[in-house]
Amino acid sequence: MSRVRVVLLNAALGPLDYRVPVDAAVEPGSIVLAPLGPRQITGVAWEADRLPTDEIDEKRLRPLAHVYDLPPLAAPLRRLIEWTADYYLAPIAAVLRMALASASALDGSRTITEYRATGRVPERLTPQRAQALERIGERQGLVRELALAADVSDSVIRGLVKAGAIEAVEVAVDDPFPSPDPDHDPPALEAAQAAAAAEFVEAMRAERFAPFLLDGVTGSGKTEVYFEAIAEALRLGRQTLVLLPEIALTEPFLKRFAARFGCDPVPWHSGLRQSQRRRAWRAIATGDAQVVVGARSALFLPYAKLGLLVVDEAHETSFKQEDGVQYHARDVAVMRAKLEAIPVILASATPAIETRQMAEIGVYKEVALPNRYGDAEMPDIAAVDLIQDPPPRGRWLAPSLVRELEANLERGEQSLLFLNRRGYAPLTLCRSCGHRFQCPNCTAWMVEHRLVGRLACHHCGHVMPPPRACPECHEEDSLVACGPGVERIADEVAALFPEARSIIVTSDTIWSPAKAAEFVGRMERGEVDIVIGTQLVTKGYHFPNLTLVGVVDADLGLSGGDLRAAERSFQQIMQVAGRAGRGEKPGRVLVQTHEPAAPVISALVSGDAEGFYEAETQARREAAMPPFGRLAGIIISSEDLAEAAETARLIGRTAPQVEGMAVFGPAPAPLAMLRGRHRQRLLVHAARSLDVQDVIREWLGALEWPRGVRVAVDVDPYSFL
């Protein structure tokens, strides 16, 4: 009789042993269904010696219920899952869940039933039904998906099916994806581009681990160059995964990819319908999906023959996952490449200090593209001193920026105003008593969104209509908006230039790849004069007629004061500046600031990126901050304030004395309350050489806390809130 160790998709359980039925073949990586109490749970067979556990007696082993007819998870992926769980102190089951990201993909059926509107109006058209049909429009999906899209209950959708207004359609989910053609329409590369591409092609042929930093200014053709690596992967019959930081970037990427390779790659992101997810997952697992473009969650999928990994805009902090398994996709991507023995390309115009340091010490090979493609020049960056050249009262755009906008409008060129603040105003208060609107669940102000007529919390999503009277002093019409958000800047633009066509680009307006495609289309057709946007518009886009960028508040990013504040500000402004002058016409960037002498601003204006990075790197080195030292955050949260504080004190009190490690806190987190939970933080600072995870594992492993308390460890934290 043979037994097998299984990791079940249940983070509360350790690995369990099962009996393999005589007629079944199970090897490490096999995807199985295992009985657990009265239920059956999906799991994956694992090497027993890698996951030691208390062995139960042979006689008590229960047989596996089923072994799926799917390729087993390969050894490099199993090692990646172990490494991720170990490094980020996460349950192995929680990491495994990301690999088996489509439950429906496991069952073998070839069709899935989806629903869509028939166009017939039901006899009984209640307001709810009318709303549902309107919101569903052309959409197609599972009952649940349609209900979510329409914001109604499942039963409303089912009622509409009965009434004939919505019909079932069978969707074939195993249709093959088209094959990208490596020679469909290759560009003629410039010398520097060709040299870079040649490096990648050579590394592809060598079939071993090769980490690259593709460091090229905005518009230098980084995408074109890594496309050559993808072309080589296609010729070699290997799969490629391209990670993008933002699903809004997927659509423009698909278009460019199709122009180069003749068909779309396979997208993977949270916006996929279940049927699309299932089809993609199976194609990835069988090797049929040759190029996948996705969000960070695509990183753990079971590629049959992965040959190349690309992380585009690799400096983006959105690659860091902030809940669940708190991993950094850039770092896990490098680890996956190492375990798969393949090349990985980190592409960025503003590489993170961590990445630059790896190139500096020769671990990553740096491939540079120092100039923009063709005749495009880097834009000219100038500071606007808000003290010397202040906007009129209650306005936010300085006269010199307004003049540039006007001139640009006259020339028929496009402009972009960047402000990293959604909504109309970040703070609303009562003029008569000073009451400020705070979220009831979070330590955060309610942000006014005037377009939809709501106050919203950007942390938990709590919304309320703006009241006419102050809830504190009951004075009517006394609420005033403080400070600007993008909507307020749009109002200012409309007042200044009534005839200009403007558009607001934030996650509120561009919330799907389709919306992003619509925005790109309008820009390309010249239907927009002025874009007002958050960080969402800072990356990836290529609009040749966009020649002016105005940074509304360059000081904003510096106020948080965390480890990476200056670096992040620099990257963000460089990225948004990089949208200007990408075509034949030169670009101009105006950066509004109260502190033109701040190092970040003067580096931007003088173009001395190297000097800025050197100073930042030196400061990190001296303080032994990442990448020269290590950090880990410990976040304790509970709905009960006393319990959270008590547990935090317990953890603080029991901190081990270890050479090369210091523990700070506990203290209430800056976001002292989030989604109704009180939060306390500790920060662990350790020498690079210390296995800080091991120390923390032992430390916390010996403690107990009340059930309602959650203790999360954030290894290599990016958020200090």
Least Cβ distance, residue 333 to ligand ADP (angstroms): 18
| Residue 219 binding partner per list ligand ADP, Zn ion, none, with a CB distance cut-off of 5 to 8 Å that depends on partner kind | ligand ADP
Query: Could you say which of 190, 264, 385, 475 contacts ligand ADP (CB under 6 A)?
Result: 190
CA atoms of 500 and 412, how far apart (whole Å): 10
Judged by CB under 6 A, how many residues of this single chain contact ligand ADP? Answer: 15
Nearest to 510 by CA among 540, 484, 482, 488: 540
CA atoms of 457 and 442, how far apart (whole Å): 8
Query: Could you say which of 28, 187, 390, 660 contacts ligand ADP (CB under 6 A)?
Result: 187
Dihedral (CA of 602, 608, 609, 610) sign = negative
Least Cβ distance, residue 369 to ligand ADP (angstroms): 7
CA atoms of 84 and 336, how far apart (whole Å): 10
- Half-sphere exposure in the Cβ direction for 10 (13 Å, CA): 15
Least Cβ distance, residue 495 to ligand ADP (angstroms): 34
| Residue 139 binding partner per list ligand ADP, Zn ion, none, with a CB distance cut-off of 5 to 8 Å that depends on partner kind | none
Q: Which amino acid is at 198?
A: A
> Can you point out the beta strands (E) in 596-715?
629-638, 661-674, 677-687, 710-715
Query: Could you say which of 15, 180, 182, 219 contacts ligand ADP (CB under 6 A)?
Result: 219
CA atoms of 440 and 397, how far apart (whole Å): 33
| Residue 536 binding partner per list Zn ion, ligand ADP, none, with a CB distance cut-off of 5 to 8 Å that depends on partner kind | none
**SS3 (DSSP) at 671:** strand
Least Cβ distance, residue 265 to ligand ADP (angstroms): 16
Least Cβ distance, residue 343 to ligand ADP (angstroms): 18
Considering the rule CB under 6 A, would residue 84 count as an interface residue with ligand ADP? no
Least Cβ distance, residue 190 to ligand ADP (angstroms): 6
Q: Which is nearer to ligand ADP, 218 or 276 (CB)?
A: 218
Least Cβ distance, residue 269 to ligand ADP (angstroms): 20
Considering the rule CB under 6 A, would residue 373 count as an interface residue with ligand ADP? yes
| Residue 223 binding partner per list ligand ADP, Zn ion, none, with a CB distance cut-off of 5 to 8 Å that depends on partner kind | ligand ADP
Q: Which is nearer to ligand ADP, 86 or 190 (CB)?
A: 190
Q: Which amino acid is at 223?
A: T
| Residue 224 binding partner per list ligand ADP, Zn ion, none, with a CB distance cut-off of 5 to 8 Å that depends on partner kind | ligand ADP
Judged by CB under 5 A, how many residues of this single chain contact Zn ion? Answer: 7
Q: How far lies 184's CA from each of 234, 256, 260, 262, 263, in Å?
A: 12, 12, 6, 6, 9
Query: Could you say which of 42, 84, 102, 218 contacts ligand ADP (CB under 6 A)?
Result: 218
Q: Which amino acid is at 701?
A: G
CA atoms of 313 and 252, how far apart (whole Å): 14
Least Cβ distance, residue 323 to ligand ADP (angstroms): 30
Nearest to 259 by CA among 227, 292, 236, 288: 227
Query: Could you say which of 193, 290, 355, 408 contacts ligand ADP (CB under 6 A)?
Result: 193
Residues 156-185 that bind ligand ADP (CB under 6 A): none
Considering the rule CB under 5 A, would residue 131 count as an interface residue with Zn ion? no
| Residue 441 binding partner per list ligand ADP, Zn ion, none, with a CB distance cut-off of 5 to 8 Å that depends on partner kind | Zn ion
Number of Cβ within a 10 Å radius of residue 60: 8
Query: Could you say which of 5, 78, 129, 222 contacts ligand ADP (CB under 6 A)?
Result: 222
x/- binding map, residues 524-543, to ligand ADP, per CB under 6 A? ------------------x-
Residues 424-483 that bind Zn ion (CB under 5 A): 439, 441-442, 457, 459-460, 462
Q: Which is nearer to Zn ion, 437 or 720 (CB)?
A: 437
Please, which contacts does 458-463 make with residues 24 or more away whose CB atoms are closer than 8 Å?
458/422, 459/671, 459/674, 459/675, 460/674, 460/675, 460/676
Least Cβ distance, residue 311 to ligand ADP (angstroms): 13
Tokens read off for 166? 């919505």
- Half-sphere exposure in the Cβ direction for 373 (13 Å, CA): 18
The four Cα atoms 598, 604, 608, 609 give a dihedral, to 10 degrees, of 100
CA atoms of 100 and 44, how far apart (whole Å): 10
Least Cβ distance, residue 80 to ligand ADP (angstroms): 28
User: Using CB under 5 A as the criterion, which residues of the chain lie in contact with Zn ion when the complex forms?
Assistant: 439, 441-442, 457, 459-460, 462
User: Using CB under 6 A as the criterion, which residues of the chain lie in contact with ligand ADP when the complex forms?
Assistant: 187-190, 193, 216, 218-224, 373, 542
